[in-house]
Chain A
Amino acid sequence: MTTSVKAAIEVRALRKEFPVRDKGIFGPRGVKRAVDGLDLDVPRGRITGLLGLNGAGKTTTIKTVATLLRPTSGRVTVDGLDTVTDARAVRRRINLIAGGERMVYTRMTGRENLWYFGQLYDVPKKELRPRIDDLLALVGLTDVADTMVERYSRGMTQRLAIARGLVNRPAYLLLDEPTLGLDAPIARDLRRVVARLAEEGTGVLLTSHYLAEVEELCGHVYVISAGRHLAAGSPAELKAATGTHRTIRLTVTTPSPATAAVATRFGADLELLPTGAELITLRHPDDMAGPLAAAIVEAGGSIGGLEIAEASLEDAILALADGSREAATV
């Protein structure tokens, strides 16, 4: 048996099935396969994104890495330690921040919460005090450190939950929609913190519905669908691979059958605007704006506006998801 011990989270052939009952509690039992043969690597010092539509299996994967769920088959290791058999050792190295869950005690103050979790992580007394102050400052809760959490706003509670996730200085940080419900400036601060932690060597696994966030932060992204691997690569590679490089929107103020024929020749979409003008939308990996505009003018059309949008990661994910849905229906 050979097990390569490298400094990373390694997910290998992970499958997770949940028992489900179809009709009420006495109904027949079935299984829901949430994750189906997934492989992932989350090295230290990099933010790894995990993307997919609702129900793709992102949370299930993260909870399995976090030792909260046991794989049905396959295995997850953290620095070579198995999440089932070495759960205690794994837990020391990781922490989980889930935007959808409370994760802090409401009848305690922010400081008391961090103190208690510090105890659960066995943080030495001398280090804990200053660390709590640092964390409170980091998430901007210093002023309300001694206020009961039940008086915090949702965003404040969430920020405390983020501080809790950092109390053990985890080598790997698992982030499941960490900015869910946060105001834009606070979400931005959190992104800075995460980026800095990664620079300092923390391995981060991030899921988020804000694809701009993923694009900004992640060095490597896995796209999954129905628990299966769909694509992987850097955001730039994913965009290149899906081929939806640029979107060109060209408005023709004097549409005619000739201009429509040009659009069709380029493979663009046509849309008649309420103003009587025509909108030509062309998605193409190459920069086709020049040739398209020239052809339109040649056909006697006059151009009212030209807009070129670089594809976002969002376009790429949507294209991938569309592709997988089509593949599934074939």
Chain B
Amino acid sequence: MPIAWATAWRTWQMTRRAYPWTYAVGTVLPAALAISLAYLGYHAIGGGTVAADFQQGSGTTAYLAYVVVGATAFQFTVRLILWSAKALITEQRQGTLGALLVAPAGRFPYLLGFTVFAVLSSLVEFLTLGLVIAALGVSVPVSSAAGALLGALALVAAVFALSVGLGGLMIAAGEAHISQNTVFIVLGLVGGFTFPRDYLPLWAQWFAELLPTTSAMDVLHGAFTGGQSLPDLLPRLGVCALLTAAYLLLGLLYLPRAEARAVERTY
């Protein structure tokens, strides 16, 4: 996919010139903070033990490891959305949307390029985050390495699919701030990242099932702290694949309309 690579390379060049390298360190602070707070809460309030309902919901007593997986995944999700969903509105703001839209290149490889860039640049952030986690002395068990890898891929695909439509909404509305923060709050609250969804009211649990990231998170938690093997994880992977395909399809169908609307809005 030459367009995906060209877009990833271009984004890398532009980002490298726009931000100092310390930026990559700064962006992991929210995750580092979330993990540190969990650490404090676990030891200072929980006395180093977890409640029975947590164990029931998460399948583990390794609360800190659970939070490390969840907070890292959430951080990664946020980064991916910030790059992929905001790609088009950024073009619009810098006056290049028209030049992009008159070109025949498909939006799928273009957006994929942003995701490729976001994934690669997140690896640097993971290293930084790894240092924080190591400093706190949290060890994360891995019950299925293959499951963890597939779960990570599923999460990338799910977030990508979500970002396609979200990016369309952003350019159509000419607004990114409210949309992105709404998505972050919703995902953080009901997406099953840092705490089991059993704590949520039933309607919120069902709502979470509609998000493609939820099943990916179940796979990730299951493959790390959940003690599950690959066959245990396959059903949730399947759900994730279906939802991802649905979101992607709807997003790609909606994008041309959103683009036309964006052009109408900014004349």
Q: A residues near B, CB below 8 A? A: 18-19, 59-60, 63, 66-70, 87-89, 91-92, 94-96, 98, 101-108, 112, 115-117, 119-122, 148, 161, 164, 168
* Chain B contact patch, size range: 20 to 34
A165, chain B: closest CB distance, angstroms: 8
Residues of B within 8 Å of A63, CB to CB, are 263
Q: Is the CB of B99 within 8 A of A67?
A: no
Which residues of B pack against A, CB within 8 Å? Answer: 2-3, 6-7, 10, 13-14, 17-18, 94-96, 98-106, 110, 256, 259-260, 263-264, 267
Closest to B106 in A: A88
**Given A105-B10, A106-B94, A119-B3 contact (CB < 8 Å):** yes
The CA of A108 and the CA of B267, in the complex, are separated in Å by 25
Per the bound structure, the CA–CA distance linking A69 and B7 in Å amounts to 25
Contact B17 A107 (CB under 8 A): yes
* Contact A68-B103, Cβ < 8 Å, known A102-B96, A103-B96, A119-B2: no
Contact across chains for B13 and A68 when beta carbons are under 8 A apart: no
The CA-CA distance from A115 to B7 in the complex, in Å, is 11
Contact yes or no, B260 A69, CB < 8 A: yes
* Interchain CA distance A161-B13 in the complex, whole Å: 20
> Contact check: which of A59, A116, A122 meets B267 at CB < 8 Å?
A59
**Interface SS of B by simple majority:** helix
**Within 8 Å CB of A102, what residues of B?**
94-96
A94 to B98, CA, bound (A): 13
CB contacts (< 8 Å) of A112 on chain B: these are 10, 13
Checking B94, B98, B104 against A120 with a beta-carbon cut-off of 8 angstroms, the contacting residue is B104
> B264–A104 contact, CB under 8 A?
no
Contact residue among A89, A103, A148 (Cβ-Cβ distance under 8 Å from B98): A103
Known: A105-B14, A107-B14, A116-B7. 10 other contacts (CB 8 A): A68-B102, A88-B104, A92-B104, A101-B98, A103-B98, A105-B10, A117-B103, A120-B105, A121-B103, A164-B99
Give chain B residues whose Cβ lies under 8 Å from the Cβ of A121.
103-105
User: Across chains A and B, which 4 residue pairs bring their CB atoms closest together, nearest first?
Assistant: A102-B95, A119-B6, A120-B103, A91-B104
Known: A18-B264, A119-B6. A94 touches B102 (CB 8 A): yes
25 contacts between A and B (CB under 8 A): A18-B264, A67-B101, A68-B260, A69-B260, A69-B263, A70-B260, A91-B102, A96-B98, A96-B99, A101-B98, A104-B99, A108-B10, A108-B13, A115-B6, A116-B6, A116-B7, A116-B10, A119-B2, A119-B6, A120-B3, A120-B6, A120-B100, A121-B104, A122-B104, A168-B103
**CA distance in complex: A94, B17 (Å):** 32
In whole angstroms, how far apart are the Cα atoms of A120 and B110 in the complex? 9
For the complex, what is the distance from the CA of A116 to the CA of B2, rounded to whole Å?
Answer: 10
Which residues from A are CB-within-8-Å of B18? 107
A91 to B267, CA, bound (A): 20
Could you say which residues of chain A place their CB within 8 Å of the CB of B105? 119-122
In the complex with contacts A95-B102, A119-B6, A120-B104, A103-B95 CB distance below 8 A: yes
Minimum distance in angstroms from B113 CB to a CB of chain A: 10
Contact with A101, one of B7, B95, B104 (Cβ below 8 angstroms): B95
